[in-house]
């Protein structure tokens, strides 16, 4: 698992002028942990980073270290542990193919005493605690340190088949992905684990080709016929590795999954129009890993991109990448879990976005308001053991006790990640605090006098956010379009906000009156689209989409949004119709009296919102959490 600290973050000039700099805000209350959220933690063993506490053959020490990790993971509310069982071409399990790892016992090829098998023990102990145990492999790395090249055990497959290996310019040894024998060896290693251990998944990380200078010219000459370039041949080799593992896992007849955790950027949009609006290292170009293609072709069960940068980081912005990956999985059966940089928290520099633990809190809040994001995996376990504040935060945010499994993560809608409100927000007896009354102000429309939402319409028009139609009407009972809602939302929450028009949705015309507002909402992460970088601006806005976007705007700008009680929706007979991504916003808004539902006790989450309802909920949320 890559743990290279990037260059010092450069804050974006201004996401929105009217918003406080996120890194300086108090910790943002996150969405409550949704039912079905996947919450994993990586346990690296390379260099004995997290397990064992020190290399040893002593079974009792190895058991104690394993139980401490699993008990801690359970206590913090994680539901899956990713145990690195093959950090290089070695094993932390009894293998007939690979030697015992030196990171386990201190000497490669030396087994733990008394037949102790760490993987077997981890699987059993994890399952006893209701945790999933995923076997994490590094497919291509033979040595993690150059000095190990000369000390491989006598029966190491790299000694038996040196023709399958390449010693790279970094001094380390790798399997050559273009060698058929190396491909078979990697596949056989996966078969062995699945055949001998009751793991819940097979997982590989981001170490594919180390870079473009890989010395595989001879292999390309031997096996590259039919490929127009070595680049395309390398991409095909990496995909063959991934597809082989997928086929083995799915052909096993067992209830296990296969996933990959690549570097967070597939490609920048300067490389291909399909890429993200980023400027960082690219899996497609530097690792010869078409990670987006694997999703689209369905040869992984989940993808867990390592998005190890902060919200607002100019080169590789967190919300930009989460949005991009959410679009990438839309319309597929591939789950999306975000790889989170827990290891970066606790930076001593008070100006760093990673000072303290607030950045992780903001990131989880964003994840939980985003459709198609099914959970996260944190790197790495020791980050929590070494940082009590991080441990306490994640335990709080995980709301320990919500159980999940990889097989039970609910399908996310292909449509937007944005959600709704009750019938007429001014009608019905809502639970919780009463909304702040609007101050009368603004224009008087010819068709709103006597309307139940007249005061709210007047208050919002007084802010210059809505202007009505040329004939003096407002048409309060007409449906509101998604683009019109974004104009209202951004106008109310950021009346003087900078409109950075770069990186807009593909279906937003440059001359549209809502172009700048939608671009800003996308950049901030408030508007997430419907997939394939499309927004569908003229589509009607649903009640639950409206509430989710408002809530997301509050969370992402550091406003003190209350997290509603888990049972806040119990009084509504149609609560089961609320989409997963809309539960947390509606819990909060119902409890705060922002959404009250209909007189019939209905939320009607999928019903189209009217212009009057939209203005009402916007103003109530604004006065409750921002100020009058």
Q: Which of 406, 367, 358 is nearest to 78 (CA)?
A: 406
Task: List, in order, residues 6 or more apart from 548 with CB less than 8 Å away.
Answer: 369, 417, 418, 419, 420, 581, 582, 585
3-state secondary structure 327-349: HHHCCCCCEEEEEECHHHCCCCC
Work out the percent of the chain whose per-residue pLDDT is above 70: 85
Residues 324 and 208 occupy one common structural domain:
yes
Query: Using 50, 70 and 90 to split pLDDT, how confident is the model at 502?
Result: low
Residue 30 has pLDDT above 80, yes or no: no
Residues 110 and 252 occupy one common structural domain:
yes
Domain termination site, one of 398, 431, 466: 398
Residue 431 has pLDDT above 50, yes or no: no
Residues 247 and 331 occupy one common structural domain:
yes
Residue 65 falls inside a structural domain: yes
Residues 381 and 489 occupy one common structural domain:
no
Domain at 255, CATH number: 3.20.20.80
Residue 156 falls inside a structural domain: yes
Query: Using 50, 70 and 90 to split pLDDT, how confident is the model at 35?
Result: confident
CA dihedral over 12, 13, 16, 18, signed as positive or negative: positive
What mean pLDDT comes out for the span 534-538?
86
Residue 605 falls inside a structural domain: yes
What mean pLDDT comes out for the span 194-219?
96
Task: List, in order, residues 6 or more apart from 599 with CB less than 8 Å away.
Answer: 423, 427, 428
Domain termination site, one of 374, 398, 422: 398
Residues 127 and 272 occupy one common structural domain:
yes
- Mean pLDDT, the chain, as a whole number? 85
Query: Using 50, 70 and 90 to split pLDDT, how confident is the model at 92?
Result: very high
Task: Please report the pLDDT score of residue 409 as a whole number.
Answer: 27
Which of 106-115, 477-486, 530-539 is predicted with the least confidence, judged by mean pLDDT?
Answer: 530-539
Higher per-residue confidence, 405 vs 518: 518
Task: Retrieve residue 241's tokens.
Answer: 């590795």
Biggest CA–CA distance in the chain, Å, is: 89
Task: Please report the pLDDT score of residue 342 as a whole number.
Answer: 97
Task: Please report the pLDDT score of residue 1 as a whole number.
Answer: 63
Residues 491 and 374 occupy one common structural domain:
no
User: pTM for the complete prediction?
Assistant: 0.66
Task: Please report the pLDDT score of residue 326 as a whole number.
Answer: 95
Residue 172 has pLDDT above 50, yes or no: yes
Task: List, in order, residues 6 or more apart from 39 with CB less than 8 Å away.
Answer: 33, 77, 78, 79, 80, 375, 376, 377, 398, 404
Residues 141 and 60 occupy one common structural domain:
yes
What mean pLDDT comes out for the span 8-27?
35
Give me the torsion for CA of 566, 452, 517, 544, rounded to 10°: 30
What whole-number distance in Å separates Cα of residue 321 and Cα of residue 314? 12
Residues 348 and 472 occupy one common structural domain:
no
What mean pLDDT comes out for the span 27-47?
79
* pLDDT tens digits, 360-408: 999 998 898 888 999 999 999 999 999 999 999 999 898 743 333 333 2
Residues 169 and 316 occupy one common structural domain:
yes
- Greatest mean pLDDT among 376-380, 465-469, 591-595: 376-380
Domain termination site, one of 398, 419, 440: 398
Higher per-residue confidence, 560 vs 316: 316
CA distances from 79 to 366, 399, 583, 626 (A): 20, 12, 21, 36
Residues 378 and 475 occupy one common structural domain:
no
Which range of residues forms the domain containing residue 481?
454-625
Tokens 């940082």, residue located? 387
Residue 518 falls inside a structural domain: yes
Residues 493 and 355 occupy one common structural domain:
no
Residue 436 falls inside a structural domain: no
Residue 598 has pLDDT above 70, yes or no: yes
Q: Which of 417, 391, 174, 376 is nearest to 261 (CA)?
A: 376
Task: Please report the pLDDT score of residue 6 as a whole number.
Answer: 38
What mean pLDDT comes out for the span 69-94?
97
Q: Which of 444, 452, 438, 441 is nearest to 474 (CA)?
A: 444
Tally the domains of the chain.
2
Task: Please report the pLDDT score of residue 566 as a whole number.
Answer: 64
Residue 31 falls inside a structural domain: no
End-to-end CA distance of the chain: 48
Higher per-residue confidence, 158 vs 34: 158
Residue 426 falls inside a structural domain: no
Residues 489 and 383 occupy one common structural domain:
no
Residue 211 has pLDDT above 90, yes or no: yes
Higher per-residue confidence, 583 vs 127: 127
Tokens 């590789």, residue located? 316
Residue 216 falls inside a structural domain: yes
Element (H, E) at 80: strand 80-86
| 3-class DSSP state of 311 | coil
């Amino acid at each position: 698992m890559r743990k290279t600290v990037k260059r010092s973050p450069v804050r974006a000039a201004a996401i929105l002028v009217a918003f406080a700099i996120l890194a300086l805000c108090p910790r943002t209350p996150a969405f409550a942990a949704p039912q079905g959220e996947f919450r994993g933690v990586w346990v690296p063993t390379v260099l004995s980073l997290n397990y064992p506490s020190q290399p040893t053959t002593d079974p009792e020490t190895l058991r104690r270290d394993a139980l401490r990790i699993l008990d801690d993971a359970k206590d913090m509310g994680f539901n899956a542990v990713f145990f690195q069982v093959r950090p290089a071409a070695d094993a932390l399990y009894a293998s007939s193919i690979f030697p015992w790892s030196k990171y386990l016992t201190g000497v490669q090829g030396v087994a733990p005493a008394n037949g102790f098998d760490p993987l077997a023990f981890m699987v059993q102990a994890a399952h006893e605690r209701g945790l999933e145990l995923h076997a994490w492999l590094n497919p291509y790395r033979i040595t993690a340190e150059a000095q190990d090249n000369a000390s491989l055990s006598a029966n190491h497959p790299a000694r038996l088949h040196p023709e399958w290996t390449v010693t790279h310019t970094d001094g380390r040894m790798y399997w050559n992905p273009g060698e058929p024998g190396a491909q078979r060896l990697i596949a056989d290693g996966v078969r062995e684990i699945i055949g001998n251990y009751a793991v819940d998944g097979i997982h590989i990380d981001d170490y594919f080709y180390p870079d473009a200078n890989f010395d595989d010219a001879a292999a390309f000459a031997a096996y590259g016929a039919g490929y127009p370039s070595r680049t395309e041949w390398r991409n095909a080799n990496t995909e063959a590795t991934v597809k082989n593992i997928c086929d083995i896992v799915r052909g096993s007849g067992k209830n296990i999954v296969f996933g990959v955790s690549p570097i967070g950027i597939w490609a920048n949009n300067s490389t291909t129009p399909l890429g993200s609006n980023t400027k960082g290292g690219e899996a497609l170009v530097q690792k010869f890993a078409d990670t987006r293609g694997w999703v689209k072709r369905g040869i992984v069960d989940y993808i867990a991109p390592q998005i190890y940068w902060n919200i607002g980081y100019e080169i590789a912005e967190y919300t930009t990448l989460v949005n991009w990956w959410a679009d990438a999985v839309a319309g597929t059966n591939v789950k999306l879990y975000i790889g989170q940089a827990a290891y970066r928290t606790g930076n001593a520099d008070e100006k760093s976005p990673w000072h303290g633990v607030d950045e992780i809190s903001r990131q989880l809040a964003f994840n939980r308001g985003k459709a198609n994001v099914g959970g996260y995996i944190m790197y790495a376990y020791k980050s929590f053991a070494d940082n009590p504040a991080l441990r306490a935060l994640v335990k709080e945010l995980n709301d320990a006790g919500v159980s999940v499994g990889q097989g039970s993560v609910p399908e996310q809608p292909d449509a937007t990640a944005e959600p709704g409100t009750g019938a007429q927000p001014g009608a019905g007896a809502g639970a919780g605090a009463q909304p702040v009354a609007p101050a009368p102000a603004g224009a008087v429309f010819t068709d709103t006098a006597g309307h139940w939402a007249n005061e709210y319409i007047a208050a919002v028009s007084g802010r210059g956010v809505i202007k009505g139609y040329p004939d003096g009407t407002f048409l309060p009972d007409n449906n509101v379009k998604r683009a019109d809602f974004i104009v209202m939302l951004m106008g109310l929450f950021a009346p003087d906000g900078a409109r950075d028009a770069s990186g807009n949705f593909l279906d937003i015309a440059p001359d549209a009156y809502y172009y700048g507002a939608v671009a800003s909402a996308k950049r901030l992460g408030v508007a997430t689209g419907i997939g394939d970088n499309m927004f569908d601006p003229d589509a009607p806005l649903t009640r639950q989409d409206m509430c989710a976007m408002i809530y997301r705007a509050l969370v992402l700008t550091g406003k003190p949004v209350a997290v509603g009680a888990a049972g806040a929706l119990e009084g509504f007979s149609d609560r089961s119709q609320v989409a997963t991504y809309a539960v947390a916003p509606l819990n909060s808004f119902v409890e705060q009296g922002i959404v009250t539902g209909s007189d019939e006790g209905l939320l009607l989450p999928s019903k189209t919102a009217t212009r009057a309802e939209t203005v009402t909920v916007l103003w109530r949320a604004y006065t409750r959490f921002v100020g009058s």
